[in-house]
Amino acid sequence: MAVTVKNLQKYYDKNKALDITELNISGGELVGIVGNNGAGKTTFLRLVLDLLQPTKGEVLIEGENVSQGENWKSFTGSYLDEGFLIDFMTPEEYFYFSGELYGLNKSDIDERLKSYKSFLSNEILNQKKYIRQLSTGNKQKTGIIAALIVEPNLLLLDEPFNFLDPTSQIRIRNRLKEINVKQKTTMVISSHNLNHIGSICSRIILLEKGYIIKDITDVENKLQEIEDYFSLNAQ
């Protein structure tokens, strides 16, 4: 599923948070969004999901303006933060609820959860706990899996490796790459973790103060260029 951005700007009062003249993400791309805090990564994702109203410009998913239609919602999955969770539900209830929004029944979700058994470990399912009682890491896992099990054509994730132990980070990294390759899912992933982003993404966009300053498609050979950029700013 293609994402197109045209003259997109977002201001908070008089402060410019994002200014992207043009951006085209083709169907099947796995795009990483990187940048320091305040670069505009989360603002960009929220604009794509119509969670924020742009000050100017538009976001199109498969040619549909996200602020003017709803067809795109039927094939788009996302998890940005704990605000996406319904914390008075158990994880199972939340998975079933999420699946129902995409026309999936309980047995569909149960079957799909089997492939995430190792990632969910023994701390999330069948624990008779509400989401609000889970650790931060397990809340993160719950949100990510809820976005994945509906098998969207377009997936947006904000800092998916945060709060996860190293083994879980590697598992989710590998699963994202596998889904992208096998299902041709378009993915846009924001992360501070250059190692994970560099290992799975076919394209990396570097944001700084709301602007795209680098758009790299030759990731394998140019990841060092991004690392050098952040190293220079750290001096």
pTM attached to this predicted model = 0.95
Cα 207 from Cα 211, distance rounded (Å)? 5
Domain that holds residue 65: 3-234
Neighbours of 154 (CB within 10 A): 22
39 SS3 class: coil
CATH number of the domain within which 125 lies: 3.40.50.300
Per-residue pLDDT of the chain (235 residues; tens, 9 = 90+): 899 999 999 999 989 999 999 999 999 999 999 999 999 999 999 999 999 999 999 999 999 999 999 999 999 999 999 999 999 999 999 999 999 999 999 999 999 999 998 888 788 998 999 999 999 999 999 999 999 999 999 999 999 999 999 999 999 999 999 999 999 999 999 999 999 999 999 999 999 999 999 999 988 877 888 888 888 766 5
Closest CA to 230 of 201, 202, 199, 197: 197
- Number of structural domains (the chain) is 1
